[in-house]
Structure 1
Amino acid sequence: MCSVLPRNRRVLAFLSFALAVSILFATQLHAQVAGATLSGTVNDPSGAVVPNAQVSARNTATGVARVATTDSAGFYSIPNLLPGNYEVTVTAPGFSTAVQSNIELAVGAQQQLNIGMKIGETTQKVQVTEAAPAVQLTSSTLSGEVQAQTVRELPLNGRDWTQLATLQPGVDKIETQMSYDTSARGNRGFGSEYTISGGRTTFNNYRIDGISVVDYANAAPGDVLGVVLGVDAIQEFSVLTGGFSAEYGRAAGGVVNAVSKSGTNSFHGDVYEFLRNSALDANDFFSVGAGNPKPPFKRNQFGGSLGGPIIKDKTFIFADYEGLRQTKGIPTSITVLSDTARAGILTDKGSGGCAPCTVTLSPYSKALLAAYPHANSAISKDTGKFVFAGVQVVPENFGTIRLDHRISDKDSLFGTYLIDKADYTQPDKMNLINTNSSTKRQTVSIEETHTFGTSLVNAARVGYNRDYVVNQFNLSAVNPAGADLALGSTLNQTAPRLTVKGIADEFGGVNSGSHYLHAWNSYQFYDDANWIHGAHSIRIGAGVERELYNPTAFQNPGGRWKFPSIADFLGGTNPTSFEAGLPNTVSPREMRQTIISAYVQDDWRFRPNLTLNLGLRYEMATVLHDAQGKFGSLVSILEPNPATTADANMRCGTQFNAATAFGVSPQPGTSCDSVGPYYKNPTLRDFEPRLGFAWDPFRNGKTSLRGSFGVYDILPLPGYFLLQQNQAAPFMIFKSTTAKANPALTVPGAFSAGNGQTLLTSSTSSRLAASTIEPNPKRSYTMQWNFNIQRQLDPTLTLTLGYLGSRGVHLLMRGDDGNMTIPTLTSAGYLFPAGGAQLNQALGVIRYVYWNTSSNYNGMHVNLEKRFSHGFQAQFAYTYGKSLDDDSQTIAGDTFGNGLNSPPWMIPKAFYGPSDYDVKHAISINGLWELPAPKSLGSFANTALGGWELGGIFSINSGVPTTPIIADDPLGLGNTGADQFGLPNIIAGCNPVNPNWKADNLQYINVQPNSAGGVGCFTLPQATPAIAAQCQTFGFGSKSNPLGIPGTCANLLGNVSRNSIYGPRLVNLDFSVLKNFPVKRISEVFNIQFRAEMFNILNQVSFVPPQPGSGDGNAAIFGSDGSPSGGSVGQLQEYATATPSREIQFALKFVW
C-alpha cells in the first residue's frame, strides 16, 4: 500500500536530468496544452532564405506581440501563442516590410507560415494576401480544431461544448452509460463518455488551460446530467485523436484540449436566456405508444459574460456565469406484480413452476409488497408494467473568471478559476423514495511565460482540480413504506433490496441501497522549455501530479435478497442468497498517488519539406496507498478467510478479530511500511517513444503525407480501485450467505424482518467479502500507429484521408466477483464442473483486478473541411473502424449497460470480440451559413431579410453491439457478487436480428421457436458424447421438470460470440435558425440575437440495443432452467433511447 520510489539508477538518472534541465529553464511549454506555435521560412524574391529578419506576431484582440528572428536558414518559430487572430509583420534590411493579416491560430496548433519578401525600403509596407497553408506540414499529430464560432453558433443540446468532439473522425459518444438515477453512474463518472480511436473512455485526458480536469474515475468531467457548461467561457478547443507527441501524457486514447476566453482591449460580452418547455416538444415514443401524456418539462438556462481591459495592452479580465433551472418528467416503465399475483394467485408457469396455484404469502413478503407499486399498464397474467414520469429537479450554477497580465515584453501571466455546482433530485423507478446526487467541480490554473531572447521560451504552470460528489443519498420517502424501519432486514435500516426473477429490482428504502461520497483533489505542477536551435525545435519538460482521493462507500447497508422466482418470493421460501454491508464499519478511504513525468521532443526540419517528430516520454505513478493503511487485498484469490487469524494474508498487516467481525468496527490499521506495497509497481520503466514525420512532397504547402508510431502507457489510477476496496475486509465488513452453503437460509421463516442480520452474524456459513489484485502486474500500454494524407483542394477546402491502428497490451480487467468455479477446455468448449466448488470456500464475494486482456483497433478516418469564407463553413467526418477486445471494463464489472458483467477472468480469450463501444460506421456533418443580406432594398428590407444564420449537426452511426445470454447462473459459477450469465449456442449462418422489428412491436432479436428446440437463431448448449457424463441438464431438479431437458449441458459455455449482435443505427439532426439585429446606435458591435434551436428535429427514435443486465435485461434469451424467457425478451427496451424526442429551444442574446 505504501508507495515505493523507483530504485533503478537509469530511471533516476533520466528523471534527474529532465528535471534539472526544466528547472534551469524554469518554465513549461504551453504548446503541449493550449498555446499555438507559428513557424516558417522567410525568402527573398529569388527564393533564397533571409537570415536575421525580425518576425512579429501581434494578437489583434489584445495588442500583445511576440518577436522572433530568423536563423541562418531563414527559419523562425514563435511558440506558446494564445489562440486567436494574429497580424504577422516581417522586417529585414533591404526589403519592404511584409504584413500578413487574419492569421487564425487554433488551440495547440503548429501552423506553418512561409513569407516572401520584396526588395524595397523597410518604410514601405507590402500586404501579403496568400493564405496560410490549410494542411499540417510540421506535425504528425492527428487532430481537429473546434473554433470559437463553431462553439458559439452550432446548436448544442444542454449547451455542452464537449459534444462537439464528435465532429471529428474517430470520436463517438457512448450512448449506453448507466442511468443518472443510480449509484452505478456516479461511480463510473457523471460526465458523458467518448471513445476516441477505439480506446476505452478512461484512456482520454481532458484539459482546460493546461490543467487536467478528469474526475475521480479518470472519466470526462460533467455535472449530474452529464454535461459541461461554459460555452461562452470557452474560446476554442482541439481533439487529438492519434499520434500526439511526447508532451502529452496520461492518455492512451485521445486528448480534449480547451482554452478559456480572455479579455481584450475592447469590452465584449453577452447576456442571454435559453428557454424550453414541454409545449414545444414531441412526446416520447414509448409514452405515445402507451397513450400516456407528454411529461412536464421546463428548462431555463441563463447567464452572461464580460471581458475587457483593466490596463490597455497590459491587463485583461474575463468573467462568465451560467445558471440552469430544470424541472422535467422522466418517463419510466418497469415490470411489477399484477394485483392477482400480489394476492398469491399465480397463473403463469414461469412464475415458479406451480401455476395455476395459490401461494400463501409470508408475513415479510406481504409487508414488503407495500414498497412495490401496483401495475398500471400492460397487465398480463402475473405481471404488468408500472409506468410513471417522476419529476427530476436540477438547479445548477457555473462560473469562471480569468485574468491576463503582461508583466513586460518578456513575461506574461494568466490565472483562471472555474466552479460548477449542480444538484439532482428525482423519485426512483418504484416511486418509493426520492434520490439525490450532487456534483461540485473546481479548477484553478496559473501560468507564467518568460521569453529568453528569440530562441528560448519558457512557461511555468500550477493547477488544482477538485471534484466533490454526493452520489445517490436518499432524501426522503415518497411512499411511507420507504422510510419504515419495521421492513428492514438489518439493524436500523429500511426495506432491503430485492432481486426477484421475473420482475424489476427493488432498490430498497431510504439509505438502504448503495450510496457514495467522492472527494477528489489533484495538485498539478508542470515545467517545460522550448528551444529553437538551427533546424531543431526542441521541447523538454517534466511534471508532477499529486492525487488525493477520499471515497466513502455505503454498500447495500439494508441488504439484498435474491429469489429464483415470483412464487418463492411471495412465499418467502428458497432465497438463493443474502448479502449486506454494515454501515457502522464504513470509513473513508484516503487514496494517495503521485504521477511523475518527463519528456523530450525534437521537431527536426530534416529537409525544408520534411519534418521529423522525434520524442521520448517517461511517465510513472507511485503505488497507490491509503494514508491510514486501510487497504485490504488477498495475495492470491485462493487465500483463506482473513478473519481466522492475524491478518497475515492481507497486504496491510492489520490485526483482525473474528469474534467481533460483524457489527463492530475493525481495529485500526497499523503502518504498512514493513508489509510491502499494494502491488509491485509496473510503471517504473514506462519509457514511451513517439516517432513521426510530416512531408510536403510537392513543396507547395498544399499536400502533406504524415505518419507516426507511439507507445502510450495506461497508469493504475485511484479511480480504478474504488469498487475494488468498497466492500473488502477487514476495513469494510460485507458478508454474504447462499442457499448452497447455508441450509438455514431456506428454512421456513428465514426470510423475515430483521433476520438478515441474524443470518450473517450467527451462521458459520456466512462469508466475508474481500478483494484481490494481481501482485506483479505487467506494464499496461497501447501501441498506436497511423498514416494519412492531407490535401488542400482550394484555399478554404481541405481533405484528410488516413488509417489509424492500435494494439492494447496487458489491459486492466476489473470484476465484481471472481470467486467462481474453474472451467476445463474440452472439444465442445469451456466446461464448468457440475456442482463444483468456488475457488475460495472460506470467503464470499472477491472483487478482482487483473491485467490480462488485450485490444486491437483498425480504422479509416476521412475528414473534409471547408473553413469559413463567404459566410459559410462545413465539415464532413466519416469513420470506418473495428475495435476488438477481451473486456471493455475499467471502473466496474459492467461499465456500460450493453456489456457483460465480470466474465470469467481466467479465460479472457473466450470473450474476445467487438468492444462494448465498437461502432463500425459513423458520419458527422456540420455547417454554419450566414445567409446573404439583400442589397438596395431599403433599411426595412435589410433589417427583415438580413442577419439570418443557419446551423446544423447531422450524425448517424451503425449502433453498438450486445450479447444474447442465458439468465442467472446456469454455469454454476457461484459468483453471487456479479451479474451472472451463461451463453447460448448460435445456429451457424443464421441472422439473429428480426428484419421486421419496427413493425413487429420492436422485437429486435428473433425469438420465435425454431426446429432445434430453441428460439430464433439460438439453442441451449448441447452435451456431446465426449462430455455428456459431466453435464448438468438445464432445469434439473425444477418443480416442472425434475429430470431437466435431455441432451442439454447447462454448465457448458455456449458458442455465441460476445457482442455479436449490433443494435439499430443511431440518427440525429440538430438544427438552428438565428436572426441578428445589429444596433449601431449603441455601438458598431452591439447585436441582439434571436435563436430557435431544434434538437432531433426529425423526431427520429434511436434505440439502444437489448441489454444483458443480470438476467433481467431484454437480451436474456433463455432462463436459467433452459426455458425461453418470453415476455419482452429480444425487444428494444422501453424508455431506453440514445436521443430524446424532438425538443425546441428559444433564446435571446444581447451581444457586444
Structure 2
Amino acid sequence: MTRNTLTTTISAVFLLFIFVTASLGQTDQGRIAGTVVDEHGAILAGATVVVKNEKTGKERTVVADKEGNFLVTALEPALYTVTVNSGDFQAAVQAGVEILVGQEKMLSVTMHPKGVAVNIDVVGGDDAVVNTSSAAMSANVSQREVNGLPLNGRQLSQLAMQAPGAENTGAGTFVDLRFNGRANEQNAVRYDGIEGSAIISASPGDLDGETPTPFRLQSSLENVQEFRVDSSNFPAELGTGTGGQISVVTKSGGNQFHGSAFEYLRRDKFDAANFFDNAGGLKKSKLQLDQFGGSVGGPIIKNKLFFFGSFEKYRGRFGLNILQAAPALSLAQPGAVVPGTATPVNPAIQPYIAAFRAPGAVVLNGGVSTPGFETVQLQALEQTDEKSFAARFDWQLNQQNKIYFRFFRDQGSDITPNGVSGATIRVDDIPQNGILDWQSILRKDGSLINDFKLGYNGALSRIAGHAPTINGLDLSGISLNIGGSVAVSGIAGQGTPSGVSIPGGLIRANSAQNGRGEPYTPYSISYIDSLSWIKGNHNLKFGGEVREVRLYTDRLGGTTYTFSSLANFLTGTLQSVQYLGDVSAPSPFTTGPGGVRFERSNYYIAYAQDEWKIRPGLTLSYGLRYEYYTPLHERNDQQVMFNVATGTLKPQNVDAYRSSKTNFGPRVAITWAPNQGGNGFFAGGRSVIRGGFGIYYGPGQTEDQIQPIDSDRPTSTITTSTIFNGQQLFSFPSPIAANSTTIRDFFNSNPNTRAYQPRAYSNSYLVPEKIYQYSFSWQQELPGKLTSTVAYVGSQGRNLFLRSVTNQILPGQTTILDGTALPTTFGVVNRT
C-alpha cells in the first residue's frame, strides 16, 4: 500500500468514526444553567424554559429536571431572554442575559403564583464575576469591552493581555504574547473554532518564523463579537498547543440593521521633531497614518437569513532615522590609501564604497573615532498598506438546524528600510480564513446537539530583500560584511551600537544563513465535528478533528562576502565567502523533479469530556484528549537529513523525526462554591475554590520542521585560495553572478571533499511537545463587582524543542608529545 493510499484510508476511517460517534469542542459557544424554585425555595420540577436570542429571534426550549435544574448548551455569544413557565405559576422573565464564549451563565429563577404582576428582570451587564463551573485560568472579553477598550492600532492581540498569566514581551502583537512562561510558538489561535495561525509559525503575522510583520488585520476588530483566552488548565476540548488558547467569535447579523464607521489618523505636524532630525539638520521625519473602515449587518429574511460584512484599511508612512558606520567616501577617490598606512586602496574595490550609504544619507560629525569610518544617518521611510474584508451569512433552516458561512481575507504589503545602504525588505501577506458550520439539535429537548465545521486557513507570504544599483553594480544577490570594532568618538573602548552598514539584497533566512527571499504558500483544511449530550447532571462532550497541513515553499539563497576589517576590505582581502543555493535548483543530494517543494502533515485529534455537577456548588470535570501529528514530509522525498550518530546522511525517503502515537492527555478539575444557595460574603456563589491537572501536547513550530528541505541545496563556506575550472573562488570583486555559479558547480562536483553543515535532528528528538500543568486557585467576589483571584500555577515541560550548534564528540583519549599534530580519531587529547 502506498503512503498516499494509507493516509487517505486512515483519514476516511477517522472521519467515519467521528461522524458516527461525535466530533471538536464548541469553543466558540456558551451556555445557560439555572434552578427553578417557588417563592418559598421549594424545587419546581418540569418547568418549561424558553431561551430566545434577542438578535435573531431563535428559540431553544428545555425542561427542568426533577431537581429543578436546567441547562441550555451550544448558545452563540449574544443577549438572550429567558422565560420560565410552570403550572399555576406566573411566567418568570429575565431579559438581557449575556452569554460569553466558553462561559456558563448561572440563573436563579423564582416563580410566583398567578395573579402577581409579571416582572421582567433585565440582567444585561450583571455578569457573573466568579467562575463556579471551570478550573481553567481564563478571561472573557465581551463585545462591550471589544468596542470600548483603547487598543493601539486596533490590534486584536492586545485583548489577550487581560488573561491571568499573560505577558507582553514587545508591542503586544501575537508574536509578543506568552502565557505562564510558555513560548509564543506554543499558543493556539482560533476563529470560530478554526485554527488561525500563520502555519509556518503559531503566531498570526509571523510569516516565516524569522520576520515579524506590522500587519494587524488578520481578523479585523470590526468582526469580533467575543474574545476568550484560556491560559492554563483548559479542558479536553482544547489543545494542539501547550500555551494559551485564544478563541475569537465573529459577529453575525440579526433582525435589525446595524452599522458602524470609523477613522483614526495621525500626522507628523502634531508631533515634535525626532532628536536625530535636529542632529542631522534634516526636516521632520514623516508620519502619516490612516486607519478606517466600517461594518453593516442585518436581515435578508427576518428570523431566517442574516448577513454581516466589514471592511478595514490601514495605511502608514513612518519616517525612520537609521544610524550606522560606513566607509568614508573619500576612500573612493583616486590615490586614496588605507587609513594609517601607505597602502593604496584597491581600485576594483572603490566602486563598492558608495554602496554602503544611500544617496540621501548625511554624515554626523564626530560620531566615530575609528579612521576610515563615518557615522551616517539616513532618514528613511517605512511604507505599510493593509486592507481586510469579511463576510458572514447565517441561515436558520428551522428550530433544529442552523448553517452559517464566514470568510475573511487580509492583504498586506510592507517595505522596510534595511540599514543606511538604501536596501529594503519587502513583505507581502495574504491571510485567509473561512468556515462552513452546521449545527443540528438532534433532540427537541436540546439534550443532544451536533456541530460540524469545515474550515480553511491560509497564510500566503512573500518576503524578499532589495538593493539599489550603485555605480552600475547589481548587489541584489550578495551581501558585504565588514568585521572588526568601530569606536564611538570620545568614549574609549565603546563600540558603536548601530553597527556597520551592510550593503546588498540578502535578508535573514534562518539563525545561520542569509538569502534573497522566502516565498511560502501554506494552508490547512480542518474537518471538525462535536457532540454535546446532557444526561441528568452530566454534560458530556465528544469530539474529533482531522486537519490537513500543506505547505509550498522555496528558499532563495545568495553569496556573503566577509572581511575581517576595513583595511582588509579596502585591499580586497577576504575572510570568507559563504554561498547558499536555491532550494528549487537541481539538488546535489536527492533525486526528484526539483522546483518548488511541497510538504504535508496530518493531525488526528479526538477527545471525550464530562462535566458532572455532583451537587449545587460542586462540579467535577474530567476528560481525555488524544493527538497524533504525522511528521512533516516532502512529497517527492526531496529532503536531506543528517545522522548525528554516524556522521552520514539518512535515506531521503525516511521521516526526519519521530512522532509518538501514544499522546493521551488526561484532564481533571474540581470547583467548589461553599453554600451556593445561601447568603453572606463567602456564600451564594461569591467564593469558589478550584484545582486542576492536565497533560497537554503541541505539534511544535513548522519553521523548525522544514529544515530537511532547507538543507537540500548547496551551501559552501570558502576561507582559503580555491581554484576551480581556472577561476579563483576566494576573491572579491569578481563577476558576481559567474562566481556564484562556479561555487555551486564546485560544490556539486566534489561530493567527497566539500564542507557541508546540514540541519539535523537528534536521534532522541520526538514530537509532540509535552507539558504537565497543574493549578490551585481561590476566587472571591468583592463589593462593586470586583473579583480577586489568588492562584498557584505550575508546569513541567518534556521534549521541548531546543536548537543548538554542536560537533560530534569522538570516543576515547590519547596522549601526544608537545608539538605533535593533533590526531583526528580521539575525543580527548592530552599533551606532554
TM-score range, shorter chain: 0.7 to 0.9
Q: How many residue pairs get matched? A: 762
Letter in 2 for 1:768: Y
Aligned positions of 1:1054-1093 closer than 5 A: none
Shift in CA distance, 19/324, structure 1 to aligned 2, threshold 3 Å: closer
1:569 equivalent in alignment to 2:552: no
1:461 equivalent in alignment to 2:448: no
Q: Secondary structure at the match of 1:149?
A: helix
What is the Cα deviation at residue 367 of structure 1? 3.2
1:772 equivalent in alignment to 2:760: yes
1:595 equivalent in alignment to 2:610: no
CA distance in 1, matches of 2:831, 2:76: 70
Does structure 2 conserve the Cα–Cα contact (< 8 Å) formed by 1:497 and 1:560? yes
Q: Which moved more, 1:794-803 or 1:262-271?
A: 794-803
Shift in CA distance, 839/770, structure 1 to aligned 2, threshold 3 Å: farther
Does structure 1 conserve the Cα–Cα contact (< 8 Å) formed by 2:165 and 2:231? yes
> Structure 2-normalised TM-score?
0.84
Shift in CA distance, 176/790, structure 1 to aligned 2, threshold 3 Å: closer
What is the Cα deviation at residue 241 of structure 1? 0.9
What is the Cα deviation at residue 508 of structure 1? 1.6
| Gapped regions of structure 2 (runs ≥ 5) | 207-212, 486-498, 508-513, 587-593, 677-683, 814-819
Match of 1:520 in 2: 522
Over residues 1120-1148 of structure 1, what are the superposed CA-to-partner deviations in whole Å (9 max), with x where a residue is unaligned? xxxxxxxxxxxxxxxxxxxxxxxxxxxxx
Over residues 874-926 of structure 1, what are the superposed CA-to-partner deviations in whole Å (9 max), with x where a residue is unaligned? xxxxxxxxxxxxxxxxxxxxxxxxxxxxxxxxxxxxxxxxxxxxxxxxxxxxx
Q: Secondary structure at the match of 1:313?
A: coil
Match of 1:1039 in 2: none
Q: Indicate which of 179, 187, 194 corresponds to 1:211.
A: 194
Match of 1:160 in 2: 155
Match of 1:200 in 2: 183
Over residues 296-322 of structure 1, what are the superposed CA-to-partner deviations in whole Å (9 max), with x where a residue is unaligned? 011222222110111112211100011
Does structure 2 conserve the Cα–Cα contact (< 8 Å) formed by 1:168 and 1:239? yes
Does structure 2 conserve the Cα–Cα contact (< 8 Å) formed by 1:27 and 1:449? no
Letter in 2 for 1:600: A
Over residues 996-1052 of structure 1, what are the superposed CA-to-partner deviations in whole Å (9 max), with x where a residue is unaligned? xxxxxxxxxxxxxxxxxxxxxxxxxxxxxxx99989xxxxxxxxxxxxxxxxxxxxx
Q: Indicate which of 131, 142, 148 corresponds to 2:143.
A: 148
Over residues 952-973 of structure 1, what are the superposed CA-to-partner deviations in whole Å (9 max), with x where a residue is unaligned? xxxxxxxxxxxxxxxxxxxxxx
Shift in CA distance, 372/196, structure 1 to aligned 2, threshold 3 Å: same
1:255 equivalent in alignment to 2:245: yes
CA distance in 2, matches of 1:44, 1:129: 20
Does structure 1 conserve the Cα–Cα contact (< 8 Å) formed by 2:138 and 2:228? yes
Over residues 593-623 of structure 1, what are the superposed CA-to-partner deviations in whole Å (9 max), with x where a residue is unaligned? 0001000111111222110110110011112
Q: Secondary structure at the match of 2:461?
A: strand
CA distance in 1, matches of 2:657, 2:621: 36
Aligned positions of 1:770-809 closer than 5 A: 770-778=758-766, 780-794=769-783, 796-809=785-798
Letter in 1 for 2:194: I
Shift in CA distance, 26/450, structure 1 to aligned 2, threshold 3 Å: farther
Q: Indicate which of 455, 467, 472 corresponds to 2:464.
A: 472
Shift in CA distance, 689/507, structure 1 to aligned 2, threshold 3 Å: farther
Shift in CA distance, 497/581, structure 1 to aligned 2, threshold 3 Å: farther
Match of 1:579 in 2: 579
Shift in CA distance, 4/306, structure 1 to aligned 2, threshold 3 Å: closer
Letter in 1 for 2:138: S
Shift in CA distance, 345/604, structure 1 to aligned 2, threshold 3 Å: farther
> Structure 1-normalised TM-score?
0.61
Percent identity between matched residues is: 25
Aligned positions of 1:395-544 closer than 5 A: 395-451=385-441, 452-454=443-445, 455-474=447-466, 477-481=467-471, 484-485=473-474, 494-502=477-485, 503-504=499-500, 506=502, 508-509=504-505, 513-544=515-546
Does structure 1 conserve the Cα–Cα contact (< 8 Å) formed by 2:325 and 2:501? no
What is the Cα deviation at residue 20 of structure 1? 6.3
Q: Secondary structure at the match of 2:799?
A: strand
CA distance in 2, matches of 1:85, 1:323: 30
Does structure 1 conserve the Cα–Cα contact (< 8 Å) formed by 2:812 and 2:826? no
Q: Which moved more, 1:564-573 or 1:460-469?
A: 564-573
Does structure 1 conserve the Cα–Cα contact (< 8 Å) formed by 2:25 and 2:238? no
Does structure 1 conserve the Cα–Cα contact (< 8 Å) formed by 2:22 and 2:544? no
Does structure 1 conserve the Cα–Cα contact (< 8 Å) formed by 2:621 and 2:670? yes
CA distance in 1, matches of 2:32, 2:41: 20
Shift in CA distance, 232/570, structure 1 to aligned 2, threshold 3 Å: same
1:693 equivalent in alignment to 2:665: no
CA distance in 1, matches of 2:484, 2:396: 67
CA distance in 1, matches of 2:696, 2:799: 12
Letter in 2 for 1:566: L
Aligned positions of 1:279-294 closer than 5 A: 279-284=269-274, 287=277, 292-294=282-284
Over residues 505-544 of structure 1, what are the superposed CA-to-partner deviations in whole Å (9 max), with x where a residue is unaligned? 5252489943110101100111111111112110001111
CA distance in 2, matches of 1:752, 1:290: 33
CA distance in 1, matches of 2:430, 2:821: 49
Match of 1:736 in 2: 717
Does structure 2 conserve the Cα–Cα contact (< 8 Å) formed by 1:458 and 1:528? yes
1:750 equivalent in alignment to 2:727: no
Shift in CA distance, 494/728, structure 1 to aligned 2, threshold 3 Å: closer
1:91 equivalent in alignment to 2:69: no
CA distance in 2, matches of 1:322, 1:836: 66
Aligned positions of 1:951-966 closer than 5 A: none
What is the Cα deviation at residue 679 of structure 1? 2.5
What is the Cα deviation at residue 168 of structure 1? 2.8
| Gapped regions of structure 1 (runs ≥ 5) | 178-189, 348-355, 488-492, 641-648, 653-671, 826-833, 842-1026, 1032-1152
Does structure 2 conserve the Cα–Cα contact (< 8 Å) formed by 1:403 and 1:416? yes
1:138 equivalent in alignment to 2:115: no
What is the Cα deviation at residue 499 of structure 1? 4.9
Letter in 1 for 2:444: G
Match of 1:391 in 2: 381
Shift in CA distance, 436/749, structure 1 to aligned 2, threshold 3 Å: closer
Shift in CA distance, 84/753, structure 1 to aligned 2, threshold 3 Å: same
CA distance in 2, matches of 1:134, 1:301: 34
Q: Secondary structure at the match of 1:811?
A: coil
Match of 1:704 in 2: 688
Match of 2:34 in 1: 40
1:112 equivalent in alignment to 2:106: yes
Q: Indicate which of 168, 171, 179 corresponds to 1:173.
A: 168
CA distance in 2, matches of 1:346, 1:146: 64
CA distance in 1, matches of 2:826, 2:148: 59
Q: Indicate which of 698, 707, 729 corresponds to 1:714.
A: 698
Over residues 74-132 of structure 1, what are the superposed CA-to-partner deviations in whole Å (9 max), with x where a residue is unaligned? 221111111121221111113221111222111221222232323336x9634347756
Match of 2:120 in 1: 127
Q: Indicate which of 635, 645, 657 corresponds to 1:627.
A: 635
Shift in CA distance, 192/410, structure 1 to aligned 2, threshold 3 Å: same
Over residues 1079-1111 of structure 1, what are the superposed CA-to-partner deviations in whole Å (9 max), with x where a residue is unaligned? xxxxxxxxxxxxxxxxxxxxxxxxxxxxxxxxx
Shift in CA distance, 19/386, structure 1 to aligned 2, threshold 3 Å: same
What is the Cα deviation at residue 250 of structure 1? 0.9
Over residues 688-717 of structure 1, what are the superposed CA-to-partner deviations in whole Å (9 max), with x where a residue is unaligned? 011111110232111111111111112145
1:372 equivalent in alignment to 2:356: yes
Shift in CA distance, 601/495, structure 1 to aligned 2, threshold 3 Å: closer
RMSD of equivalent CA atoms: 3.7
Q: Secondary structure at the match of 2:19?
A: helix
Match of 2:345 in 1: 361
What is the Cα deviation at residue 408 of structure 1? 0.7
Does structure 2 conserve the Cα–Cα contact (< 8 Å) formed by 1:574 and 1:746? no
Match of 2:48 in 1: 54
Q: Secondary structure at the match of 1:651?
A: coil
Letter in 2 for 1:564: S
Does structure 1 conserve the Cα–Cα contact (< 8 Å) formed by 2:722 and 2:730? no
Shift in CA distance, 438/73, structure 1 to aligned 2, threshold 3 Å: same
